[in-house]
Amino acid sequence: MIITGSLPARVAGIDSISPTLKRFRFEPDGPAEFPTAAPGAHVLVTLSGPERVWKNAYSLVTPPEERGHYAIIVRRVEQSRGGSHFLHDVLRSGDRVELSAPASLFPIASLARKHILIGGGIGITPFLSYLPVLKARGAVFELHQFCAISEAETFRGLLGTDDPRVHVHGTGGRPVLEPILADQPLGTHVYTCGPEGLMRAVAETAKGLGWPANAVHQESFAGAAGGRPFIVHLARSGQTILVEESQTLLEALEGAGIEAPCLCRGGACGVCLLPVLDGEPEHRDHVLSEQERAEGKIIATCLSRAKSDRLTLDY
């Protein structure tokens, strides 16, 4: 199995954390150490199966100064398009892999006087690299992890139970956010990562309580969902490529050997935006404004698709 990318690495260990969660530890494949990663950074892991290639983004759960190895935690998703299945069921210790250099889209706000971290399920992962940094800085923080009752013990095991600032809410129901976000001191920032519903609820609750928008930070874990197949035509090269039902536009471009830009692969960074010359995009990203969506002149290739049968890109 060959996994391509820019940091040669080897799978140094795979631990089962729960029936659906595994931790994968990667070590550099060679004498060089990995680069230092910022807290909350992610890497792209490129997985080459016999019939297709996946490039998935995962938050590093290792402390930022750790250069001897990187680790990620991945949930096996039954409805996934295959990346988590491949990691859980095919990847073995000793396999050679290549990772992208770490990228940071979810940094700790350096001027914040207090930090509130709110995770939902596997959305806890970026906060596992925040915690050692906040503790080392002596920062004022609280962490609230919301999860199903059945997973509460798993997350307590990951986070530890001896820190009164860390709370695992294994309620499974609608998260109660008002008591967490109300009456916080000026200069508090909130960070949330997890399911869309949780992140929306945090943003709406914070807004309702009068939080400034720039004190609310989110890391989207939105995976790409499939859709109706369509044709993409690249005006500059003249290439015409089919985007299949289970592929993203970005994956179809990569599958055709095109070096398309990307960073988060989750609709959050805007690096993959390409100009649209013809056709109607179906926007699924989190970066475009309402006006940009309505104009339909630009598309985030990592998540968005086409409403029309054909899309022509200026690329």
User: What are the residues binding ligand FES (CB under 6 A)?
Assistant: 262-265, 267-272, 285, 287, 300, 302
Q: Which CB atom, from 143 or from 249, has the smaller least distance to ligand FES? A: 249
In sequence order, the 6+-apart residues with CB closer than 8 A to the CB of 95 are 1, 3, 10, 11
Q: Which CB atom, from 22 or from 217, has the smaller least distance to ligand FES? A: 217
Shortest Å, Cβ 284 to ligand FES? 10
Q: Which CB atom, from 97 or from 250, has the smaller least distance to ligand FES? A: 250
Shortest Å, Cβ 261 to ligand FES? 7
26 and 11 Cβ atoms separated by less than 8 Å: yes
Q: Which CB atom, from 21 or from 241, has the smaller least distance to ligand FES? A: 241
Shortest Å, Cβ 251 to ligand FES? 12
Q: Which CB atom, from 181 or from 288, has the smaller least distance to ligand FES? A: 288
Q: Which CB atom, from 91 or from 303, has the smaller least distance to ligand FES? A: 303
Shortest Å, Cβ 304 to ligand FES? 9
Shortest Å, Cβ 233 to ligand FES? 20
Q: Which CB atom, from 3 or from 249, has the smaller least distance to ligand FES? A: 249
Shortest Å, Cβ 250 to ligand FES? 7
Q: Which CB atom, from 128 or from 303, has the smaller least distance to ligand FES? A: 303
Q: Is 104 exposed, middle or buried (0-12, 13-18, 19+ CB in 10 A)?
A: middle
Q: What is the 3-state secondary structure (H, E, C) of the chain?
A: CCCCCCEEEEEEEEEECCCCEEEEEEEECCCCCCCCCCCCCEEEEEEECCCCEEEEEEECCCCCCCCCCEEEEEECCCCCCCHHHHHHHCCCCCCEEEECCCECCCCCCCCCCEEEEEEEHHHHHHHHHHHHHHHHHCCCEEEEEECCHHHHHHHHHHHCCCCCCEEEECCCCCCCCHHHHCCCCCCEEEEEEECHHHHHHHHHHHHHCCCCHHHEEEEECCCCCCCCCEEEEECCCCCEEEECCCCCHHHHHHHCCCCCCCCCCCCCCCCCEEEEEECCEECCCCCCCHHHHHHCCEEECCCCEECCCEEEECC
Question: Taking the CB of residue 229, how many other CB atoms lie within 10 A of it?
Answer: 15
Shortest Å, Cβ 9 to ligand FES? 21
Shortest Å, Cβ 244 to ligand FES? 19
